């Protein structure tokens, strides 16, 4: 099986092309678990399978390290767009990519034949509780309350094609994400589980977040999480609609545009290495 290893600000993925004889569709989830294991496989946060689509330029499916399938991933979208251009899979400066979470459009920022960044139209945020989904009687959920292990958190709920729970904390660098992330991910309020963003607001133009990703754990970056955090902070009046989101792996620029209500994510993507691996089923 031929593959490429890429990352978006340290959120890393194994990207393979659909239809390879030794990776049938029914094995994607199992392959993600095996390939993403750092000591026994290649090591990554997720497996991304790309292929043709009858309606769009490409289709991608994302499998977390635990084998669960994710609806959406902003960092993976940037990696796929860069890979498709540089590998000649789809040599277009603008790509329409189909995902479980819906269509996403990417625009490549290039210098000659080199992709220096990718701008992704992530679509409008979903703010209705039943669409996120979150078990809450009102929408939007901006100041929700949840209690876990006898501690109460105030949260905002946002879907960027996948569910997010955004919680403001005083100093995110010192916050025990490993303790609270898994408990909130599996809280009964979230029937499909949830990604969790812990946020500290620096000013109206910059926030810092740490992300506990559903099915993965804490990651160095999360594109949809950065978008969800930016939307939540804007809804609370803590920031404007255009912010820089600082993550452990680097910065993302998020713009929740007023003209169309879409969220635009801009950031880099990096090729780590290419390789070939045999899977003994």
Residue length, the chain? 281
Q: Which residues contact 258 (CB under 8 A, 6 or more apart)?
A: 241
Gap between the Cα atoms of 187 and 131, Å rounded: 17
Q: Find out whether 33 and 47 touch, Cβ atoms under 8 Å.
A: no
Examine residue 133 and say whether the peptide bond preceding it is cis (omega within 30 degrees of 0): yes
Gap between the Cα atoms of 32 and 73, Å rounded: 15
Active site residues: 73, 222
The two beta strands, 151-159 and 144-148, are: antiparallel
Structure tokens belonging to residue 43: 């090591």
DSSP three-state, residue 226 = helix
Gap between the Cα atoms of 109 and 71, Å rounded: 25
Cross-strand partners of 264: 121, 255
Q: In a 10 Å sphere around its CB, with 0-12 CB exposed, 13-18 middle and 19+ buried, how is residue 96 labelled?
A: middle
Gap between the Cα atoms of 244 and 23, Å rounded: 38
């Amino acid at each position: 099986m031929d593959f490429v290893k890429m990352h978006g600000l340290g959120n890393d993925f194994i990207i393979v092309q659909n239809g390879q004889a030794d990776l049938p569709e029914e094995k994607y989830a199992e392959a993600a678990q095996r390939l993403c294991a750092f000591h026994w496989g290649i090591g990554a946060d997720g497996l991304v399978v790309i292929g043709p689509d009858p309606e769009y330029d490409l289709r991608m499916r994302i499998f977390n390290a635990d084998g669960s399938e994710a609806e959406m991933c902003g960092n993976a979208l940037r990696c796929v767009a860069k890979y498709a251009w540089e590998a000649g899979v789809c040599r277009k400066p603008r790509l329409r990519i189909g995902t479980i979470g819906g269509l996403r459009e990417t625009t490549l920022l290039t210098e000659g034949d080199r992709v220096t960044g990718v701008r992704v139209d992530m679509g409008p945020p979903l703010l209705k509780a039943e669409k996120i989904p979150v078990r809450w009687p009102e929408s939007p959920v901006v100041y929700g309350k949840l209690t876990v292990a006898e501690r109460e958190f105030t949260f905002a709920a946002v879907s960027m094609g996948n569910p997010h729970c955004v919680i403001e904390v005083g100093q995110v660098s010192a916050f025990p994400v490993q303790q609270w992330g898994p408990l909130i991910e599996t809280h009964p309020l979230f029937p499909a589980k949830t990604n969790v963003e812990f946020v500290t607001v620096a000013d109206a133009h910059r926030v810092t977040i740490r992300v506990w990703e559903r099915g993965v754990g804490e990651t160095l970056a999360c594109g949809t999480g950065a978008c969800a955090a930016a939307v939540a902070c804007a809804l609370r009046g803590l920031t404007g609609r255009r912010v820089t989101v600082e993550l452990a792996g680097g910065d993302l620029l998020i713009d929740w545009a007023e003209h169309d209500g879409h969220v635009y994510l801009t950031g880099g993507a990096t090729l780590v290495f290419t390789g070939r691996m045999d899977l003994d089923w």
